Structure 1
């Protein structure tokens, strides 16, 4: 054993229950632009994903803005009837599916076909009845619930300059209810910290936003009380402000909440560990060498605690919903589709459950570099398998392991999903060099690894996980271990299922 290795002893008898987590904690986004077809990020090249080719950088903000403008490409509407995407999505179990994104702020609902697909003045995109029906059918097929954010572009404002009007939103609710379904949750406007470039009325201010948020909240509660209000859907955090760049120019979340009289039922915010290479001049970008570090992995907890302070003041008692989360804003980093993202994903999920009760909506299910599934093939990325094992193995009771989080030893514990007495440990060795030795009772081991951190293949107990091209999910079988010592290699994610001998 290296002198630097960490040695752990699991003591199930000392675990103390903290809380019951929301079983829908692993939820996800399907961007509005995916439903309608539109624009999204140009995919990275295979060489950029593997790290063989550096992503181009620039030194001037104006150059980066020009570069960003060229990084959008047209994408077709997603086919949510595809059996492969349905199979992989359904395997998660119960979820809330969020249909939103900045595109939703500017989308017109045309459910009678009168626009011919051309957005009217005051909007930029069109959602058809057929596209929304596809979303409803998908939600039903995967045992999901719905969260939407609604339009707030100048087309939904009185005379294009005045107060927000509900006619467009009513189209969405009415049609959904006519299909025997309901919209369980709703946000008003996606990321109100950024009011520029969202097709809003000229001179739109935070005071205008507060007025319109309250109008929406009152309309929702008076006309559709079965739908719960989620907000403020903010994207601002202390890390971005400290990093400078454009991230420091975001409007403050507390400044937003001060102007809103209607408290949300669920407090929502967005939390990315950083900003991708595409937007690194915005600030808060992490290089690849840092993405297994303690600071990087702990970034989302900083966001949680920052927002909890605001929640306690303006929506006390509301659960915390992270309605967008992934490795990086601006479409994800080049390494988003690779194994290393599994470490971040599982660590955020397990640590979130220790610290609070709520839901994390991964952005996205199947688009850009941060998608759980590849946008073109709908085949799973490595992080999907880390997520699926968490869903299959970890029950809803969350325990305090009494282990300090430190490099090589991120140790979490929950009850067993199979209903048997016992526990499911999640142990992440985020060290790139040192092994972690764990003294364990008899258990079943599931260790996820890869030949390299930027591999697009993932292994379970040393064997490559290969799903069928038709969406068939292979057997994910653990390895039985007698009581003793197991060695966890550097940069691995391990689930250990143990019995309860108490």
Structure 2
């Protein structure tokens, strides 16, 4: 167990704890430290939002849940990956050859990566705005494919998962050569569900997309139309079973063309009360079973088959429990969406992000879904299929600025703590929460936060407990590609710096000691000694101390892409392990300690 202790002038200032129940007991490191006031750091007032609310209050993830107490154990997280997606509200209406192609979680007129009519609550990244040009041509142009910044940004996460899907995926038909009639694009129509008529995806466009994904080295999760064949009532409820014939044709075409698909996901936000429409849990489970049979049949003889995922909706405990039990033998991944900060227009958005109690409340859906999976006895794993934080495209200079990394990294920490394997961030490009700028593809702060998480935080999660200020959010993992450990500290305080020390039980320092004093890195049971070992620190701060800045500083240096489109190297600051670690006000710190080996990480 990791214990964090913070004191201010020698006295305790409060306490907070975080959960991570598991089976094996880890090493037991203890953090302790002192706080320093920096009165020059004043809280920044939230900027006014310009977007209008479009997503319904049915999003259960937007409610604050009670904080969860921690349990001193270790957890396994199979994938410490990140994802990016688009908000699933209304969709933009841009021409994609013979159709309107969008990532279905888009907004009217938004420059988003609606790559193929669907939204991507993907895994690791969601394409948000990369498609603006792609949508306006009959094929993906060489200019798009060869954009150095875009390709380098994607390849930095290699292998990268991208989810294609969203609101309009449940209104798209896949056209094949022997189909009769024109392949019509989406047309705006306020009388239609989601505000659009049906749209068509020609296989020529599917070919272009797969060409792009192959070059980018992406793992694709594709969202299938789950409403095909159903009758939708005036209240949004559906009757009838899923007509799988069109989806099966797409899957067979994909296999015949040799395209690699990582997973097929059925439907988007149709669980529980649904957004626009809803499907009963038992019926949805039956439909997933049909999809699994199709995948098993079409991929017969393949050593590795695509995953079957669903339902890609907002968590509803009763609905998800019924669904998981009904589909567990056919469902490899259960996906849910998170917009727990509410609408992007909320003038209190920044206040929520900086409120540790509000952040902690976001753990409840993770906990409840974990409980549902455990009680079902299934091998199905959980993914966050889409998360943009604030729906209706977020908020400019908040969800695409430094301040959002507080929420984002805390979400990644909680996701791993509760055993979710993949987190799909909305979006890679698009809306006001893209990791890349919609027009220039230049990285926003969250891109670098995600990249550091991807490179440093390993699959095994060490539970964290701290006593002291609740303004510090802390997580610890076994290091990625290393036997050491990596710590993450998020300081939500605007005026107080914290010096952190570390004491670890049942750990091994690989270097020899050279003296008789230690401040950091004590191994209980041995004589006190100062170890000539180093740790690597990554201090993230906003430019000019402005939380709304879109420029992130790493160890005081601005992170910028060079003229060749190369993503900057993320170089750490090397510090002797005996020195205390200082977490400045309104800052984020990753600290990697390669020389500390704990049993859980060996």
TM-score by length of 2: 0.65
In the superposition, relative to structure 1, how do residues 309 and 117 fare at CA in structure 2: closer, same or farther (>3 Å)? same
Question: Which residue number in structure 2 is paired with residue 272 of structure 1?
Answer: 339
Q: How do 1:9-408 and structure 2 match up within 5 A?
A: 14-15=28-29, 18-23=74-79, 25-29=81-85, 36-38=100-102, 40-41=106-107, 77=134, 81=145, 82-112=147-177, 116-119=182-185, 124-154=198-228, 163-193=241-271, 194-195=273-274, 197=276, 209=284, 211-224=286-299, 226-237=305-316, 252-254=319-321, 263-278=330-345, 287-314=349-376, 316-334=378-396, 335-403=398-466, 407-408=470-471
Distance, in Å, in 2 between the alignment partners of 1:267 and 1:348 is: 18
In the superposition, relative to structure 1, how do residues 305 and 418 fare at CA in structure 2: closer, same or farther (>3 Å)? closer
Question: Which residue number in structure 2 is paired with residue 67 of structure 1?
Answer: none
In the superposition, relative to structure 1, how do residues 396 and 312 fare at CA in structure 2: closer, same or farther (>3 Å)? closer
In the superposition, relative to structure 1, how do residues 344 and 94 fare at CA in structure 2: closer, same or farther (>3 Å)? same
In the superposition, relative to structure 1, how do residues 469 and 116 fare at CA in structure 2: closer, same or farther (>3 Å)? farther
In the superposition, relative to structure 1, how do residues 106 and 24 fare at CA in structure 2: closer, same or farther (>3 Å)? farther
**Mapped contact 1:6–1:435 kept (Cα < 8 A):** no
Higher RCO (Cα < 8 Å, 6 or more apart): 2
**Mapped contact 2:333–2:381 kept (Cα < 8 A):** yes
Distance, in Å, in 2 between the alignment partners of 1:177 and 1:44 is: 33
Distance, in Å, in 2 between the alignment partners of 1:42 and 1:293 is: 31
In the superposition, relative to structure 1, how do residues 304 and 25 fare at CA in structure 2: closer, same or farther (>3 Å)? same
Deviation for aligned residue 1:213 = 4.0
Deviation for aligned residue 1:455 = 1.0
In the superposition, relative to structure 1, how do residues 373 and 161 fare at CA in structure 2: closer, same or farther (>3 Å)? same
**Mapped contact 2:350–2:403 kept (Cα < 8 A):** no
Deviation for aligned residue 1:387 = 0.8
Q: Deviations over 1:360-416 (max 9, x none)?
A: 111111111111112222111111001111122223332234436952322222233
Distance, in Å, in 2 between the alignment partners of 1:164 and 1:454 is: 45
Distance, in Å, in 1 between the alignment partners of 2:438 and 2:78 is: 28
Return the match for 1:462 from 556, 559, 573.
Answer: 556
In the superposition, relative to structure 1, how do residues 13 and 187 fare at CA in structure 2: closer, same or farther (>3 Å)? closer
Q: Secondary structure at the match of 1:435?
A: strand
In the superposition, relative to structure 1, how do residues 96 and 309 fare at CA in structure 2: closer, same or farther (>3 Å)? same
Deviation for aligned residue 1:306 = 1.9
**Mapped contact 2:352–2:358 kept (Cα < 8 A):** yes
Distance, in Å, in 1 between the alignment partners of 2:186 and 2:471 is: 55
**Mapped contact 2:14–2:468 kept (Cα < 8 A):** no
Deviation for aligned residue 1:237 = 4.8
Distance, in Å, in 1 between the alignment partners of 2:388 and 2:438 is: 16
In the superposition, relative to structure 1, how do residues 311 and 215 fare at CA in structure 2: closer, same or farther (>3 Å)? same
Deviation for aligned residue 1:150 = 0.8
In the superposition, relative to structure 1, how do residues 377 and 255 fare at CA in structure 2: closer, same or farther (>3 Å)? same
Question: Which residue number in structure 2 is paired with residue 473 of structure 1?
Answer: 567
Q: Secondary structure at the match of 2:490?
A: strand
Question: Which residue number in structure 2 is paired with residue 413 of structure 1?
Answer: 476
Q: Secondary structure at the match of 2:339?
A: strand
Question: Which residue number in structure 1 is paired with residue 33 of structure 2?
Answer: none
Confirm or deny that 1:434 pairs with 2:491: no
**Mapped contact 1:111–1:128 kept (Cα < 8 A):** yes
Q: Deviations over 1:214-272 (max 9, x none)?
A: 4334433444462322223221358xxxxxxxxxxxx9444655776865222211122
**Mapped contact 1:5–1:437 kept (Cα < 8 A):** no
Distance, in Å, in 1 between the alignment partners of 2:386 and 2:171 is: 18
In the superposition, relative to structure 1, how do residues 13 and 149 fare at CA in structure 2: closer, same or farther (>3 Å)? closer
| Structure with greater proportional helix content | 1
In the superposition, relative to structure 1, how do residues 107 and 5 fare at CA in structure 2: closer, same or farther (>3 Å)? farther
Distance, in Å, in 2 between the alignment partners of 1:208 and 1:394 is: 39
Deviation for aligned residue 1:21 = 2.7
Question: Which residue number in structure 2 is paired with residue 446 of structure 1?
Answer: 538
**Mapped contact 1:21–1:398 kept (Cα < 8 A):** yes
Distance, in Å, in 1 between the alignment partners of 2:83 and 2:424 is: 5
Q: Deviations over 1:127-146 (max 9, x none)?
A: 23233223323332343322
TM-score by length of 1: 0.77
Distance, in Å, in 2 between the alignment partners of 1:93 and 1:405 is: 38
Distance, in Å, in 1 between the alignment partners of 2:206 and 2:475 is: 39
In the superposition, relative to structure 1, how do residues 276 and 468 fare at CA in structure 2: closer, same or farther (>3 Å)? farther
Q: Deviations over 1:108-151 (max 9, x none)?
A: 21244965541599962222323322332333234332222211
Deviation for aligned residue 1:23 = 3.8
Question: Which residue number in structure 2 is paired with residue 62 of structure 1?
Answer: none
Q: Deviations over 1:430-470 (max 9, x none)?
A: 22232111234532211001121111111111111111355
**Mapped contact 2:87–2:387 kept (Cα < 8 A):** no
Deviation for aligned residue 1:13 = 6.6
